[in-house]
């Protein structure tokens, strides 16, 4: 408890707190003596209670630390790193992490939705949320997660875009398509592999009519290959020396150049998996084995683009 007393024409403030040595200081003004005593006593008691004021670092500083210590250990390192570097460019990145409020993230979300889909924005929000969880649980900063207090954007309906035979012909045989892009597109259409899996493929992973995929989205797997897929893989210069971002960018350019609207590279995978069921007559479990899906609903909802006339034809065959 603080004591204020007159001392040689000045005012002495004396603080006695159990567990701490006596502290005193002399002031000209009694008001200053009282103010100092109150602030010092509160500080000592906060230290004892373990609630001393914490110095919170800026978001951009912890973001760089997160990249170096957490992201670098993930399979999605390059993708997550790219997202975080974009966050660092935002105005709120210079704020201490305890000053980043839900309205800051909400405003960013609304602006980002002008150029990206709800699904893309949600994936970015997932990264921010995971970062704040790490700040609190692993690095000891008692901060609230601002992402948990905002309304998430609605996810768009699953894509059902399928490349037509004419569009595939343009992509494979058009004079704008480079040999490496032609090879990657052909392998995708014949195997149904994800782009990241295609780019990691290597001749040493081929055994008979199967291909081992040691690094996949969920867990390592082995997929069966058609004769054509086996031939394409053996003739390709594996692994491909191109990033998935470059492939996606070049695919967009090709689509624009050939007048193909609304297509992305992942549509090749959708074509392949649908054809496995429609043309090759594979059932759901067999197609899941190739696709690497663990939930049949994913395959049935998104990839099995069977149209009514296909079913009618099968019924009457």
Sheet with 221-224, edge to edge strand ranges:
206-207, 210-213, 221-224
Of all residues in the chain, what percent carry a pLDDT higher than 90? 51
Task: Tell me what the mean pLDDT of segment 58-83 comes to.
Answer: 93
pLDDT number for residue 317 = 64
Percent of the chain with pLDDT over 70: 88
Cα distance between residue 51 and residue 62, in whole Å: 22
Per-residue pLDDT at 9: 87
Tell me which of 302 and 234 has the higher pLDDT.
Answer: 234
User: Tens digits of per-residue pLDDT, 121-132?
Assistant: 999 999 999 999
What average pLDDT does the structure give for the chain?
Answer: 86
The tally of CA atoms less than 13 A away on the side-chain side of residue 98 is: 10
Mean pLDDT of 39-48: 73
Q: pTM of the predicted model, to two decimals?
A: 0.63
Q: What superfamily in CATH does domain 165-315 come from?
A: Intergrase catalytic core (1.10.443.10)
Tell which wins on pLDDT, 249 or 216.
249
The strand pair at 206-207 and 23-27 is best described as unpaired
pLDDT at position 311, please?
A: 58
Q: Among 48-62, 126-140, 198-212, which stretch is predicted with the lowest mean pLDDT?
A: 48-62
Q: How many whole angstroms from its chain centre is CA 100?
A: 20
pLDDT at 171 over 90: yes
Give residue 137's pLDDT band: very low, low, confident or very high (50, 70, 90). very high
Mean pLDDT of the region 188-195: 92
State the Cα–Cα distance between residues 215 and 307, nearest whole angstrom: 33
């Amino acid at each position: 408890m603080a004591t204020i007393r007159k001392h040689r024409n000045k005012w002495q403030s004396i603080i006695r707190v159990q567990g701490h040595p006596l502290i005193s200081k002399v002031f000209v003004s009694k008001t200053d003596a009282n103010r100092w005593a109150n602030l010092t006593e509160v500080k000592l008691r906060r230290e004892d209670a373990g609630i001393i004021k914490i110095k919170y670092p800026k978001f951009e500083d912890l973001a760089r630390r997160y990249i170096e210590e957490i992201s670098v250990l993930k399979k999605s390192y390059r993708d997550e790193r790219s997202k975080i570097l974009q966050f660092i460019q935002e105005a709120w990145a210079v704020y201490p992490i305890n000053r980043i409020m839900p309205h800051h993230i909400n405003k960013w979300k609304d602006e980002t939705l002008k150029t990206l889909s709800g699904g893309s924005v949600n994936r970015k929000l997932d990264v921010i949320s995971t970062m704040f969880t790490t700040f609190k649980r692993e690095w000891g900063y008692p901060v609230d997660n601002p992402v948990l207090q905002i309304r998430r954007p609605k996810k768009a309906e699953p894509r059902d875009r399928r490349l037509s035979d004419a569009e595939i012909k343009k992509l494979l045989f058009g004079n704008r398509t480079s040999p490496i892009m032609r090879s990657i597109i052909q392998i995708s259409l014949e195997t149904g592999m994800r782009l990241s899996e295609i780019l990691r493929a290597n001749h040493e992973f081929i055994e008979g009519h199967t291909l081992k995929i040691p690094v996949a989205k969920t867990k390592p797997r082995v997929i069966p290959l058609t004769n054509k897929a086996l031939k394409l893989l053996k003739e390709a210069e594996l692994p491909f020396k191109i990033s998935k971002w470059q492939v996606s960018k070049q695919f967009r350019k090709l689509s624009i150049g050939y007048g193909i609207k609304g297509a992305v590279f992942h549509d090749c995978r959708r074509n392949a998996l649908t054809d496995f069921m429609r043309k090759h007559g594979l059932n759901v479990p067999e197609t899941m084995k190739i696709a690497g899906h663990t939930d049949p609903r994913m395959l049935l909802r998104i990839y099995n683009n069977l149209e009514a006339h296909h079913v009618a034809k099968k019924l009457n065959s």
